[in-house]
Amino acid sequence: MTFDDFVISATRRLNAGAPQNGWEDSALDIATCVQAAIHALSKDVMMDNEKRGLLQQTYSVTISGSTGDLLSPTGSVTATAAEILPDGIYYGVLTDADGDILQPLKTLNAFYRPQSLVYSYYHVGPNMTLYTRSKQAQVTVPADVVGVNGPVSVIASYAPQDPADIPHSLEDDLIEYICRIAMTKSNEKYAVKG
Amino acid sequence: MGTITWAKVEAGTALLLGTIEGADVSTAETNYTGALSTSTVRSPDFPPTAIYDACVNAAMEIAKAICESDNHPETVSFVASSSAVSSGATAPAASSGSVPRIGPIRRVKDGSNSRTLDRETISAVRDYNAASATIFNGYNAYYYAINGDIIEHTRTTVICDMCCFNRATFTGQSTIPLNDEHERLIIMGAVTFLGMKEGMYADLANRAAREFDTGLQIIRGVAQNVDMDVRAMKPGGSL
């Protein structure tokens, strides 16, 4: 479904059975809810063990030194950059060019601390910078870090920029999310007090 | 358009003004059915060209009433399309063929796919245009707004459909640019305009003016009445 299709579907669903509600005049307002709805849906899908795979794709991240940019590469499904969800990386997997699986370290402090050399590690730092650390060298100070061999293959959850990239099985969910956000807005504005 | 010729409404006007030349009925009949000329019109008060002009003016008034009415069945005869209009440009004052616009813009359509745009608030149009590449990227809004004489819209270009009409050019045996039903109204209009010239025609001019004005009002209002009738016939419809 296209952006237009989602707006029309949400508009008609909101208006169903009660044309006096006037939602048909609110298409532009409903359209502004679409991106918010996509992000809300994507986050919920990411948390859902059964649906997560519907919004996961692979990114190939170039490693320069020991770091890479997670916002630059395009996704294998949507071919669009910067859709990756920060939390979604932890629900996926990172593999370096040597085939080693990188383990997450969620704080930079832990990243620069001595760790078991059984694994290579990664950390998602400021502005979605991917910090990598090879299992070949122990680290006690930042200068000790040796990056992994790139590129790093990142399978991660994402929020599509284009509504047309929403899988068919999630289309009805997205319409529901759009309606919910639109109604929340109107309820707050027009709520009957007392 | 009609089958009535300009010559016929001119002759009808001249007859009411009593200016058809003819010492006997046969001559008068011949002059009535033929093209008016200085030798077939009697009174110097109403030379043939003045009668022509009055008839054209009356036709213009009728055309204007049709073009300004809501969905009069004859408005479609006057509808013409503008050239492509960019957002922020002046609303078109003439068709792509340079025929002047009369009355409101009746439809705004996309310049490429002819889909009709919805009239929206200026803020909605501007909000969409401001965020068309971000929030609304991929969303196709078909909105326009009229801001004074400026048209703003959400498409690359639009085309406006509107009623356009040039002052009719008189050619005696050509047909009037209106339906035949307006033959009498044109004559009434022309008599109204010309009758004012002489006090002796005051009664005639007043009666003609009343009929002409009433006719124009009916033209302006008839479509609305029809629309209301149609709506009342719909199941569950209400006035």
Nearest to B128 among A3, A4, A28 (CB): A28
pLDDT at position B196: 87
- B127 to chain A, any CB pair closer than 8 A? The answer is yes
Taking 70 as the threshold, does the pLDDT of residue B223 lie above it? no
pLDDT at position A19: 65
Residue the block writes with tokens 């997205």: A174
Tens digits of per-residue pLDDT, B39-82? Answer: 888 888 899 999 999 999 999 999 999 998 877 889 889 999 99
- First and final C-alpha spacing in chain B: 33
String of b and e for B64-85 (b: at least 16 CB within 10 Å)?
A: bbbbbbeebebbebbebbbebb
pLDDT at position A90: 95
Angle subtended at Cα B139 by Cα A5 and Cα A19, rounded to the nearest 5 degrees: 50
Tens digits of per-residue pLDDT, A145-154? Answer: 999 999 999 9
Tens digits of per-residue pLDDT, A158-178? Answer: 999 999 999 999 999 999 999
- A31 to chain B, any CB pair closer than 8 A? The answer is yes
Give the residue among A66, A82, A76 at the shortest CA–CA distance from A153.
Answer: A76
Highest-pLDDT range among A14-18, A55-59, B42-46, B61-65: A55-59
pLDDT at position B239: 38
Tens digits of per-residue pLDDT, B88-124? Answer: 999 999 999 999 999 889 999 999 999 999 999 999 9
Taking 80 as the threshold, does the pLDDT of residue B3 lie above it? yes
Return the residue in B139, B143, B153 with the most chain A beta carbons within 10 A, the one to mutate for interface testing.
B139
Q: Is this structure's pTM higher than 0.90?
A: no
- Percent of all residues in chain B with a pLDDT value above 70, rounded to a whole number: 91
Report the C-alpha gap between B10 and B32 in whole angstroms. 9
Q: With beta carbons under 8 A apart, name residues in chain B contacting A161.
A: 137
Taking 80 as the threshold, does the pLDDT of residue B238 lie above it? no
Residues 6+ apart with CB under 8 A from B225: none
Tens digits of per-residue pLDDT, A181-192? Answer: 998 866 555 444
Taking 90 as the threshold, does the pLDDT of residue A113 lie above it? yes
pLDDT at position A76: 97
Give yes or no for a cis peptide into B177 (omega within 30° of 0): no
pLDDT at position B237: 41
Contact A28 B140 (CB under 8 A): no
- B113 to chain A, any CB pair closer than 8 A? The answer is no
- A28 to chain B, any CB pair closer than 8 A? The answer is yes
Tens digits of per-residue pLDDT, A86-111? Answer: 999 999 999 999 999 999 999 999 99
ipTM of the complex: 0.77
